[in-house]
Amino acid sequence: MSATIAPSTLDVSKILSRRVQSVDASGIRKVFDLAAHLKDPINLSIGQPDFPVPDILKQAAIKAIEENRNGYTPTQGCPELLRAIWSRLGSEVGWTNDPAHGLSTIATSGTSGALVLGMMAVLDPGDEAIVPDPYFVMYPQLGALTGGKMVLCDTYPDFRMTADKIEKLITPRTKAVLVNSPGNPTSVVLNSKELQDIVDLCRAKGILLISDEIYDEFTFSESRENGHFPTPARFTRDCLLIRGFGKTYGCTGWRLGYVAGPHDIVQSIAKLQQYTYVCAPSMAQYAAAHAFEVDMRPWVDRFEKRRDTVLAAFDGVAQVAKPGGAFYAFVEVPPALGMTASQFVEKAIERSVLVIPGKVFSTRDTHFRLSFAAKEETLARGLDVLRGIMLGK
């Protein structure tokens, strides 16, 4: 016999913290709600790649599970993954785990896990971190999550977060500058000179530079320097590098990223991880230990061609800052149309094309984000529709 369950009398609004009440629900979800009735939309809104996980990673994950390696890993990550990360950082930017370098690394539950724990480790209530506008949707919410204040750096119209724009925002409470190159939603890639200037500024002011490099592998030919992706790690070790595996290897659901940087900061992140995520997902770690053996260049080249298709479609019709990597274009709604980006997106959805209005990523509502992580044929159809709206067809 089941007991009678008493009707709910709890006033949840009195229970929910001010913290969670100040977090906005993702605007991307609102767009999906608008499009929920569409049968077979042309979906250019997706923030993840359209290729399968490379076989070597799939097999390694399966093998780990079948061999019953399913328990906790050390908080910092399994030794084979940490070795792979050090080998990669050593050959790419000369960072090693030699104690003389004062560096450390930790595998995290996604790049998101790294960002949350990184900010928690650095910010006290009222402390400030400077982040770009437009931004990855999580950045402003990191304020609500940590008690810190996210100060937006307006990067319109070229979306380059340069030292001169950052310097104007520095106050005695500034503790960190968060740079994201290639960026979401703009895909703009900063060059080494711009990064060196930011490194110099942070050093002069005693501020921590945090570099969200989740799209590092997705850097197109003209933005690579001597074949390499430009990163501040080449100029300093006083930098928190935050990277991920989800986008590069098509395994966003595996929730794996890593942080590398000053030893004491990374150890503080490890302390927080111990009481929150405990460790990053084990099978993903065993798989990612093989990630750097995989050559993703054929896919990066394919994405570069798609980028060219996008730029050609809007040439002479709308302004687009050239995406130097990742898989997004941040397209300005032609001002002559006299509509906000949200209004434009509604029109696009009426014609079955899904893109995301700029206000989801920004204080402004003048652009939309288009993802070219879509099959070429789908992309071409979507571009035709978007161009058509702009040309009044």
Rank residues 41 and 246 by Cβ distance to ligand PMP and give the closer one.
246
Taking the complex as a whole, the smallest distance from the CB of residue 344 to ligand PMP amounts, in Å, to 22
Taking the complex as a whole, the smallest distance from the CB of residue 292 to ligand PMP amounts, in Å, to 17
Rank residues 283 and 389 by Cβ distance to ligand PMP and give the closer one.
283
Distance CA 255, CA 252 (A): 6
Nearest alpha carbon to residue 144 among 42, 318, 49, 18: 18
Is residue 47 involved in binding ligand PMP (CB under 6 A)?
yes
Please identify which residue in 50, 194, 212, 304 interacts with ligand PMP, judged by CB under 6 A: 212
Residue 221, burial from CB neighbour count under 10 angstroms (0-12, 13-18, 19+): exposed
Nearest alpha carbon to residue 24 among 143, 133, 115, 130: 143
Rank residues 181 and 390 by Cβ distance to ligand PMP and give the closer one.
181
Give residues 104-123 in contact with ligand PMP (rule: CB under 6 A): 110-112
Please identify which residue in 76, 81, 116, 136 interacts with ligand PMP, judged by CB under 6 A: 136
3-state SS string over 287-345? HHCCHHHCCCHHHHHHHHHHHHHHHHHHCCCCCECCCCECCEEEEECCHHHCCCHHHHH
Residue 38, burial from CB neighbour count under 10 angstroms (0-12, 13-18, 19+): middle
In the structure encoding, which two tokens stand for residue 350, read together?
Answer: 């009426």
Is residue 252 involved in binding ligand PMP (CB under 6 A)?
yes
Rank residues 303 and 390 by Cβ distance to ligand PMP and give the closer one.
303
Is residue 214 involved in binding ligand PMP (CB under 6 A)?
yes
Rank residues 155 and 390 by Cβ distance to ligand PMP and give the closer one.
155
Rank residues 110 and 324 by Cβ distance to ligand PMP and give the closer one.
110
Rank residues 291 and 389 by Cβ distance to ligand PMP and give the closer one.
291
Taking the complex as a whole, the smallest distance from the CB of residue 287 to ligand PMP amounts, in Å, to 15
Residue 78, Cα to own-chain centre: how many angstroms?
24
Per DSSP, helices labelled H in 68-128 are 79-93, 110-122
Give residues 167-186 in contact with ligand PMP (rule: CB under 6 A): 180, 184
Is residue 257 involved in binding ligand PMP (CB under 6 A)?
yes
Is residue 244 involved in binding ligand PMP (CB under 6 A)?
yes
Helix axes 110-122, 138-146, angle to 10 degrees: 40
Rank residues 307 and 385 by Cβ distance to ligand PMP and give the closer one.
307
Closest residue (Cβ) to ligand PMP? Answer: 110
Rank residues 289 and 313 by Cβ distance to ligand PMP and give the closer one.
289
Termini Cα distance of the chain: 66
Site size toward ligand PMP (CB under 6 A) is 13
Tell me which stretch binds ligand PMP (CB under 6 A): 158-166, 227-235, 244-252, 372-380.
244-252
Residue 250, Cα to own-chain centre: how many angstroms?
14
Q: Which residues contact 3 (CB under 8 A, 6 or more apart)?
A: none
Cβ neighbours, 10 Å, residue 85: 24
Q: Measured between alpha carbons, how far is residue 233 from residues 95, 176, 241 in Å?
A: 8, 16, 7
Three-state DSSP state, 225: strand
Amino acid symbol at 9 = T
Please identify which residue in 132, 140, 143, 246 interacts with ligand PMP, judged by CB under 6 A: 246
Taking the complex as a whole, the smallest distance from the CB of residue 172 to ligand PMP amounts, in Å, to 28
Taking the complex as a whole, the smallest distance from the CB of residue 248 to ligand PMP amounts, in Å, to 10
Give the residues lining the site for ligand PMP (CB under 6 A). Answer: 47, 110-112, 136, 180, 184, 212, 214, 244, 246, 252, 257
